[in-house]
């Protein structure tokens, strides 16, 4: 589940390599995704929404959002084998295509209500994250939703991130600031000690229902 995207070529190679076994961790990851999707839905109702899931991987995150009522979920990923596996697993339910999340030329501005990415950003370098956030902002009608790390991770996850040379340490320090460069209104929804959902609204007027989980983004 952890990795570093030093370049597109690297992401492409790593994820195609692990695609045949990556879905084996899905039962565990789905437990975290379920918790996150329930809290997200309480704050941003997903019913009837069209959603683009960037770095869709096995399709597990997108599938959970659909279960919460999203009307249409389309996943994009840079790795062919990830896309192939997701298409096979969720045929007739979700759609997927091979697209680089830093360049969404094929999609028009505002073509989805919400754009999301789960466990994608912390593996990328800051300049790539910035390009991806800008593209997500362009495609979103309402908001973008980034599910990823914050706070303390369990020791084994820290070890894996270190071994795999992920950018998670910088990510956790600067991601709110990176979001603030693009979005006028940002919330952070704490899921648990290690995971959070970062929400970037395109308009300052939006407010989330008051929730004990909401914290200031730059905290
Ligand atoms: C840790 S996985 C995400 C798991 C996914 N959320 C799920 O539900 O299975 C990261 C995914 O991001 C994809 N990815 C990395 N860089 C990308 C990019 N620039 N554009 C699109 N997908 C990218 C990888 O190929 C990989 O499948």
Where along the chain do its domains lie? 24-215
| Minimal-distance CA residue to ligand 1 atom 12 | 55
Number of the ligand 1 atom closest to the C-alpha atom of 79 = 25
Q: Which residue has the higher pLDDT, 48 or 187?
A: 48
The band of 159, judged by pLDDT with boundaries at 50, 70 and 90, is confident
Q: Is the CB of 117 under 6 A from ligand 1?
A: no
Mean pLDDT score, 87-116: 95
The residue nearest atom 24 of ligand 1, judged by CA position, is 55
8: CB partners within 8 A, 6+ apart = 78, 100, 102
Q: Compute φ and ψ for 75, nearest 5 degrees.
A: -105, 140
Question: What is the per-residue pLDDT for 14?
Answer: 84
CA 3 to ligand 1 center in whole angstroms: 10
pLDDT mean over 139-157? 87
pLDDT (mean) for 26-50: 94
Place of tokens 């084998």: 81
Q: Whose CA is nearest to atom 10 of ligand 1?
A: 120
How many angstroms separate the alpha carbon of residue 58 from the centre of ligand 1?
9
Query: Measured from the CA of 12, which atom of ligand 1 is nearest?
Result: 25
pLDDT score for 11: 78
Q: How many CB atoms lie within 10 A of CB 174?
A: 14
* Percent share of the chain, pLDDT over 90: 62
Ligand 1 pocket, residue 75 CB under 6 Å: no
Ligand 1, residue 26: give the atom nearest the CA: 9
Q: Confidence class of residue 152 from pLDDT cuts 50, 70 and 90?
A: confident
91 or 219, higher pLDDT: 91
The ligand 1 atom nearest the CA atom of 8: 19
Mutate to test the pocket of ligand 1, among 37, 103, 106, 120 (most ligand atoms within 8 A of CB): 120
Asked if pLDDT for residue 70 goes beyond 90, the answer is yes
What is the chain's mean pLDDT, rounded?
88
Residue 7 confidence (pLDDT):
55
The pLDDT of 21-43, averaged and rounded, is: 92
Alpha helix segments (H runs only) across 23-150: 26-43, 60-67, 80-89, 126-139
Is 24-215 assigned to CATH 3.40.50.150?
yes
Q: Give Cβ neighbours of residue 99 (< 8 Å, ≥ 6 apart).
A: 76, 77, 78, 106
CA angle 175/117/52 to nearest 5° reads 135
pLDDT of amino acid 194: 87
Q: Above 70 in pLDDT, residue 61?
A: yes
Instruction: Give me the pLDDT at residue 177, please.
Output: 92
Answer whether 125 contacts ligand 1 (Cβ < 6 A).
Answer: no
- Is a pLDDT exceeding 80 seen at residue 81? yes
Ligand 1 atom nearest the C-alpha of 86 is 9
Alpha-carbon distance of 137 to 180, in angstroms, equals 12
Asked if pLDDT for residue 4 goes beyond 50, the answer is no
Closest residue by Cα to atom 4, ligand 1, is 57
SS3 24: helix
């Amino acid at each position: 589940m952890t990795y570093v995207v030093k370049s597109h070529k690297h992401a492409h190679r790593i994820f195609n390599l692990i695609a045949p076994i990556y879905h084996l961790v899905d039962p565990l990851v789905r437990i975290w995704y379920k918790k996150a999707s329930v809290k997200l839905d309480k704050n941003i109702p997903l019913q009837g929404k069209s959603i683009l899931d960037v770095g869709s991987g096995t399709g597990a995150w997108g599938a959970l959002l659909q279960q919460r009522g999203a009307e249409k979920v389309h996943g994009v990923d840079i790795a062919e084998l990830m896309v192939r596996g997701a298409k096979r697993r969720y045929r007739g339910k979700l759609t997927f295509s091979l697209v680089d999340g830093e360049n969404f030329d094929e999609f028009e501005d505002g073509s989805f209500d919400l754009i999301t990415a789960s466990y994608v950003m912390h593996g990328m370098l800051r300049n790539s994250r910035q390009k991806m956030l800008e593209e997500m902002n362009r495609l979103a009608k309402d908001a973008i939703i980034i599910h990823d790390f914050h706070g303390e991770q369990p020791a084994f996850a820290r070890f894996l991130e270190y071994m795999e040379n992920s950018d998670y340490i910088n990510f956790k320090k600067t991601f709110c600031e990176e979001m603030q460069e693009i979005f006028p209104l940002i919330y952070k929804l704490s899921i648990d000690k290690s995971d959070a959902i970062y929400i970037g609204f395109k308009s300052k007027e939006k407010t989330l229902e008051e929730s004990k989980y909401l914290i200031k983004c730059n905290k």
